[in-house]
Structure 1
Amino acid sequence: MIKTYLRERLSWLGMFLFGQILLLLIAYLDHSIPFQSVLYIVFLSTILFIIFLIIRYHKETAFMKRLNDWETSLDVSGFADAASPFEKIIEAALVNQTEQLHQTASRQQIALEQEKDELLSWIHEVKTPLTAMHLMIGRLDNDRAKASITFEWLRIHHLLDQQLHQLRLPSIDNDLYIEKVQIEDLLYAEIKSLQSWCIQKGMGFDVLLDATQVLSDAKWLAFILRQLLTNAVKYSNNFSPDIIVRSFTDQEHTVLEVTDFGRGIDAKDLPRIFDKGFTSTTWHQDSAATGMGLYLARKAADTLHIQITVHSEVGVGTTFTLAFPQPNELVRITGM
């Protein structure tokens, strides 16, 4: 700040030095003026000027220091004690601009909430005809047409489900209810919803549950499992070996693994698969992928303090692992 202040006052310093040098030069050239007396005056005035400069430095830079340390929280209360007229002008400009930003942010927040509410309402309205469509599909006699239509219905259903949970994710903390959840019940409910797709691909699930109960939120855990199971089916080849889902206790943590034997994930893609919008560099032409499922699953898992990891080899398969927190690690979630 000292260097900045000196650069700001460089013209004043130059003017003062020029005056002092000019005074000495005149005394040197004009012998009628005692040079030593002038030198003494220059010395005293320089001392006084340095003291004045130090005092003014602390007074003039206090406002600028607060401005430099100002956080981007749109709080201008720290500038209320502006001293000089110039500082008051800056303060007034900051207050006016901040007030305009507050108003703009408020309007945008209201518009965003309205848009979110409208989209949520639209999703719920669309789910009603989808449910009716599913009932009508069940009454079809043509098995081949029934399987094809069910598959497309399932895709729409999952896309709407992703969108719904994406809208709810910012307020997930207000939606959590931590309880003892039966893994088996959630798994079989999600597997049942994928039944027609699995039949179409000629594959199934092999469920091995040594640990059957965890502390978590049933709704969001079901959403996480839905993303993992859907990906396992989607990226498995027709008539691949059954997808293995197993749970066990490892070092006091309950672990759930979902293993498929599909096309796998390239090593260079593994660090990015949980990034928003990332699909694949190897299968970039896959237009059906949205790049949102694993991103949303990771966000939800982080909130639930579930560690989600992945191991994969191209052409061999992929294993997603969920490591659930211990009960004492859920204190921050439950507020107990």
Structure 2
Amino acid sequence: MIWKFFKEYRLWYSLYAIMSALYFLMFYLYRLPLSYFINSLILNLTLLILVTIWQYHKFKQKLNILHHFIYVEELKELRSPSERSYQDLIAKLKDKESEESFAAKAEMEEWQSLIKMWSHQMKVPISALSLMAQTDHLESNEVQQQLMKLQNYLDSLLTYMKFSQNKDDFRFEEVSVSSLIREIIKKYRITFLAKNLSVTIQGDWLLKTDKKWLSFALSQVLDNAIKYSKNNGSIDILITDSSITVADKGIGILDEDLPRLFEEGFTGYNGHKHQKATGLGLYMTKKILENLNLTIEISSQIDKGTDVIISKTTKDNDDKP
């Protein structure tokens, strides 16, 4: 503790020693009586010792406070301007730490809720497969359909994890939207057949974009169209050189749910009723499309169907004179 004290105030003690040496040199050079210098030195040293004892006591108290304080209010005994500045800095750091801790806790709770929700959804196809195995009714199409559901849930979870970590791995290339949609439909063919859905595709769009991420976004849109389509229904896809429209004739979406469809975690009435939504598909779709300079709009009517329109982002960047 003593060594720390002298290390803290070494500049002042060094200055005192230098000043004393200079005064001695002046007395010596001008042949002044050294007894005056010695008496002055003794008096100054006495004062210095007393001040040192008092200052050391304050220094020791300050270190004890700093070593054991928990709340910033405990530092109020430190009153010098620099110590007040340190208090303000510590308060800001503790506030920032509290905010980060709260954010981390909220994120952890969100992930726990998400995992529980995904686990609950994955139990449905697993239970279906288990029941088919127990009853020896392992129909090929039904097994493939349940396995596809599991794969889609896992793909969505992994994509969300990657998406939430803000990993920008976009690679733009020229993509035929019509060919990409046909690949996605081929992937979902078992589900189309299970609900006896027909699909029509008109037009094409050679779009410079990231094929993988656009495929994920379109898969989410088509997956929703399939989920909420009625048996023996149809899905019409119209592609122009600036937009993609996916129209189904399914159960539709409530008007009050439309403004919140792209909110993270929002499932809406259909998602609750049919237990088919995680509330993340459209949220991720919108964010991904924004990164691809595309927009998404949804219009719907109950029992008449839903139209999803993906189009180029309009930019009014022309400078006006």
The TM-score, its normalising length taken from structure 2, stands at 0.58
Q: Does 1:96 align with 2:84?
A: no
SS at match of 1:259: strand
Name the SS of the counterpart of 1:274 in structure 2. Answer: coil
Q: 1:165 aligns with which of 159, 163, 178?
A: 159
Query: Aligned residue for 2:29?
Result: none
Q: CA RMSD in A?
A: 3.7
Relative to 1, partners in 2 of residues 1:185 and 1:313: Cα closer, same or farther, differing over 3 Å? Answer: same
Q: Is 1:182 the equivalent of 2:176?
A: yes
For the residue of structure 2 that corresponds to 1:276, the secondary structure is coil
Match of 2:235 in 1: 243
Superposition map of 1:266-281 within 5 A: 266-281=254-269
1:229: Cα distance to partner? Answer: 0.4
Provide Cα deviations, 1:115-145, integer angstroms capped at 9, x if missing partner: x9xxxxxxxxxxxxxxxxxxxxxxxxx9972
| Residues 1:315 and 1:178: Cα distance change in structure 2 (over 3 Å) | same
For 1:298, the equivalent position in structure 2 comes to 286
- 1:225 is matched with 218
Native 8 Å contact 2:199 2:237 kept in 1: yes
- Structure 1 residue 260, shift from structure 2 partner: 0.6
* Structure 1 residue 319, shift from structure 2 partner: 0.6
Partners of 2:159 and 2:243 in 1: CA distance: 24
State the shift of 1:286 in Å.
Answer: 2.4
Matches within 5 A, 1:83-232: 85=79, 87-98=81-92, 145-170=139-164, 172=166, 174-209=168-203, 211-232=204-225
Write the letter of the residue equivalent to 1:265.
Answer: I
Whole-angstrom distance in 2 between the partners of 1:282 and 1:187:
25
- Once the 2 structures are TM-superposed, how far is the Cα of residue 102 of structure 1 from its aligned partner? 7.2
Q: After superposition, what is the alpha-carbon deviation per residue over 1:272-317, rounded to whole angstroms, capped at 9, x for unaligned?
A: 1111111123663322211111111011111212110011110000
With 273-282 and 291-300 compared, the bigger mean Cα shift is at: 273-282
Amino acid at match of 2:87: A
Which structure 1 residue ranges, 4+ long, deviate > 6 Å from structure 2?
Answer: 101-104, 326-329
Give the distance between the partners of 1:317 and 1:175, measured in 2 at CA. Answer: 35
| Structure 2: tracts of 5 or more residues without a match | 1-77, 112-135
Q: In the TM superposition, what whole-angstrom CA distance separates every residue of 1:32-73 from its partner, at most 9, and x where no partner exists?
A: xxxxxxxxxxxxxxxxxxxxxxxxxxxxxxxxxxxxxxxxxx
- CA–CA distance in structure 2, aligned partners of residues 288 and 317 of structure 1: 17
Contact 1:214 1:324 in 2 (8 A): no
Q: Is the 8 A contact 1:261 1:316 kept in 2?
A: yes
CA distance in 1, matches of 2:182, 2:224: 16
Query: Over alpha carbons, which structure has the higher Rg?
Result: 2
- Following superposition, the deviation at residue 321 of structure 1 comes to 0.3
Q: 1:279-290 counterparts in 2 under 5 A?
A: 279-281=267-269, 284-290=272-278
Instruction: Kindly state the Cα deviation for residue 166 of structure 1 after the two structures are TM-superposed.
Output: 1.1
1:314 aligns to 2:302 (yes or no) = yes
TM-aligned CA deviation for residue 93 of structure 1: 2.4
**Corresponding residue for residue 50 of structure 1:** none
1:326 & 1:255 partners in 2: Cα distance? 12
SS in 2 for 1:281: helix
Measure how far apart 1:103 and its partner are.
7.5
- Structure 2 Cα separation of the partners of residues 306 and 294 of structure 1: 14
Give the letter aligned to residue 211 of structure 2. Answer: A
Q: Structure 1 unaligned segments of length 5 or more: list them.
A: 1-83, 117-141, 330-336
Tell me the percent identity: 25
- State the 1:266 CA deviation: 1.0
Distance of 1:306 and 1:87 partners within structure 2: 55
On the 8 A contact 1:263/1:315 being kept in 2, the answer is yes
Structure 2 distance, partners of 1:328, 1:189, is: 34
Distance in 1 between residues matched to 2:97 and 2:300, nearest whole Å: 49
How many Å apart are 1:167 and its aligned residue? Answer: 1.6
Provide the C-alpha distance between the structure 2 equivalents of 1:328 and 1:237, rounded to a whole number of angstroms: 41
**Structure 1 residues 150 and 90: alpha-carbon distance in aligned structure 2, compared to 1, 3 A threshold:** farther
Aligned length: 217
1:101 shift after superposition: 6.8
Question: CA separation of 1:181/1:88 partners in 2, compared to 1, >3 Å: closer, same or farther?
Answer: same
Match of 2:3 in 1: none
Matched position secondary structure for 1:189: helix
Aligned counterparts of 2:186 and 2:309: Cα–Cα separation in 1: 21
